[in-house]
Structures are given as C-alpha cells and as structure tokens.
C-alpha cells in the first residue's frame, strides 16, 4: 500500500524545483519591501510555526535582523494595538485560508507593518490578498493531513525571503536542495531499525539546536499527529536543563543535526550521553559523527547548514509514515484532524 503521505513525500524534489524557480526571481521585490523595515514578525500556527522557527534562525544568524514569533491572540482575542512601525510581518499558512492568520496579518498591517504572505494557496487566497507581497509556493495539492511538501516549500520561500533581507549566504546552495532531497527519498538510511526502535514506546524526545531546531519541532509534531506518540520537541540546550530526565529505556531520543556547523559537536555529545545511560539515541543527519554515536541513524542531506533543514525533515517524514503503518494507523487521516485547522 502506498499512502498519500508517502506519495507526497516523493513529490518534494519537483515541488522544491518549481517553487525555487518561481520565487528566486522575486528577491528584488522582497528587498524593496524589506528596505522599509528593521525587524521581522512571523505569524503562523502548527507546521507553519515550525517553518517560521527556521526563518527566525536563518535571518537572525545570517542577516543580522531581529525576529520574533507573533502571538495571534494579541490581535484576535485580546484585540490590542501594537506599534509595528518598521516591522516586516510574515504570515505563513499552507492553505492561505486559516482565518486567525489572515486576520492577524491584516491587523499587523493596520498597526504599521509591511506584510508578506507565504502560502501554497495561490495568489487568490485570503492570506495572499491581504499582504503587500505574496510568495506563493508551488507544491501542488496536498491531500494527506500531515503536511510534507507544503512544509519544505515554505522553507524554500523563507530562504528566498532571507536573501531579500540581506542574508550573507551563497544563493547557489539553493539549487542543490532538490537533488539532495531526492537522494534522501531514495535512501533515508536505516529506516527499519529506527521504526522498530520506536514500536511500543509511549513517547520520544526529539532534539536539535540552531537551524536544526525547526526540524526537531516539526518531526515531533509529525510523530504526535500521525503516530500518536507523546513526542517532545526541544532544543538540546533546553533538554539538558531538566527534561533529559525523561529519557530512559522507554523514552528514546531522536537527535537532529546538519552535517556541519557549530551545533554538531553538542548533538554528538548528547547522543553519547543518552546511549551511555542505557537509552536509545536515533540520529538524523549529523554525518558519520552522529551516526557513530547513535543506536541507529537516518541519513541527512549533503547541504550547508543554512539550507540543510529542507532535507533534514525528509527522513523524519519517511519515519513517521512507516511507523504509522507499522502501528496500524492510517497516516493520511489521523484521528481528530482536518487539513485546514481554524482557531480563534
């Protein structure tokens, strides 16, 4: 049986190529809008919020601009005005129809912000229509409830946004992403061993730091929604401040890292600590160093750290789909969830 989720995971290389081809020529449009601002405010929920975490790390680390994740309830529930002069507000919604996000982006504009929409819903979606500039991804229709290709194309759009706000990166790295993702779809690593290592476990800790933190959050969300695991997504810095106490024989750790960068040594050290305490540590990415320190490992992309999250999530998506089927769960339609979630 091939699930819709598995098919859509395999569609990501093409979706990324189409999205990058469409959005890279628009960097100058982003630049002209961003020149009128100093700081960025991301407005999102769920998977889109995890994508926004990537955007925040990328723009703060490589463009030197302060970023924040917005609280939509300030606009929609408390209905308070905030001075957003000099702010670039970025609303993310895969469908472009999440009313709370549309309303919050419109509120941000009324508070003085310049606004950007990132959506797969197209230029006629409510979110795109309310924004000053819409960066529409080209993932195609996504039928499985767990987001896969709409998430990775959001990351691609955020990378284009980062170029427009002056990120000190090599734009050519983006052209390598679709091929790297295709390679991971074909060869995710020791998938069967990681699946079996999670069967029968009530929960799991998923951890990464820096650019990989967004991947840890997104993988934890996928395991919660499609496999019904109590999955906790944490920065490894926060994990070491107390929650590591929950990691034991019944609660393994999944540790995520790019194959390079300043957070890799700490991730490897954490894997060694977890396995040294008798628990299982499953690596995602991190090259040979993390694989050697882990109980079993999934491959990561051969990409620089700043674009690695577009590939790092792919073996995690494959893990989620395979584990759901192993547990007798239909990953296309997890219980209690709809494709578009409306919140107030």
Residue pair 172/69 in contact (Cβ under 8 Å)? The answer is no
- Bridge partners, 160 (sequence order): none
Sign (positive or negative) of CA dihedral 194, 269, 311, 131:
positive
Q: What is the DSSP code string of 272-283?
A: HHHHHTT--EEE
DSSP 67: E
DSSP 26: G
Q: What is the DSSP code string of 161-224?
A: HHHHTT--S-GGGGGGHHHHHHHHHH--BSHHHHHHHHTT-SEEEEEE-GGGHHHHHHHHHHHH
Residue pair 194/296 in contact (Cβ under 8 Å)? The answer is yes
Point out the catalytic residue in the list 4, 114, 143, 339.
339
Q: Which two tokens stand for residue 107?
A: 């509120």
Calculate ∠ Cα 319-320-326, nearest 5°. 85
Q: What is the DSSP code string of 225-256?
A: HHH--EEEEEEHHHHHTTGGGG-BTTB-EEEE
**d(Cα 11, Cα 271) in Å, to the nearest integer?**
32
Residue pair 158/167 in contact (Cβ under 8 Å)? The answer is no
* Residue 339 annotated in active site: yes
Residue pair 42/68 in contact (Cβ under 8 Å)? The answer is yes
The residues assigned a catalytic role are: 339
């Amino acid at each position: 049986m091939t699930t819709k989720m598995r098919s859509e995971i395999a569609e990501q290389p093409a979706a990324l190529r189409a999205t990058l081809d469409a959005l890279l020529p628009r960097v100058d449009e982003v630049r002209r809008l961003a020149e009128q601002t100093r700081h960025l405010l991301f407005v999102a929920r769920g998977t889109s919020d995890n994508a926004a975490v990537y955007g925040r790390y990328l723009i703060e680390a490589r463009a030197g601009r302060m970023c924040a994740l917005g609280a939509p309830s300030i606009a929609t529930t408390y209905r308070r005005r905030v001075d957003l002069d000099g702010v670039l507000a970025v609303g993310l919604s895969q469908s472009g129809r999440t009313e709370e996000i549309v309303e919050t982006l419109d509120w941000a504009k009324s508070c003085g912000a310049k606004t950007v929409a990132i959506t797969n819903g197209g230029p006629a979606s409510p979110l795109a229509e309310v924004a000053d500039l819409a960066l529409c991804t080209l993932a195609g229709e996504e039928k499985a409830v767990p987001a896969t290709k709409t998430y990775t194309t959001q990351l691609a759009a955020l990378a284009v946004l980062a170029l427009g706000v002056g990120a000190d990166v090599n734009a050519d790295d983006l052209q390598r992403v679709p091929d790297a993702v295709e390679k991971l779809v074909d060869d995710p690593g020791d998938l069967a061993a990681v699946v079996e290592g999670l069967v029968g476990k009530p929960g799991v800790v998923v951890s990464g730091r820096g650019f990989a933190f967004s991947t840890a959050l997104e993988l934890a969300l996928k395991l919660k929604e499609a496999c019904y695991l109590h999955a906790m997504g944490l920065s490894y810095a926060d994990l070491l401040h107390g929650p590591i106490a929950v990691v034991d024989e019944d609660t393994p750790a999944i540790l995520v890292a790019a194959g390079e960068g300043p957070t890799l040594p700490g991730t490897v050290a954490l894997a060694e600590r977890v396995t040294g305490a008798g628990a299982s540590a499953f690596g995602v990415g991190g090259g040979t160093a993390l694989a050697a320190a882990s109980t079993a490992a999934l491959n990561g992309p051969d990409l620089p750290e700043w674009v690695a999250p577009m590939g790092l999530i792919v073996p995690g998506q494959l893990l989620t789909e395979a584990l759901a089927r192993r547990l007798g769960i239909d990953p296309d339609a997890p219980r209690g969830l709809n494709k578009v979630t409306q919140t107030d």
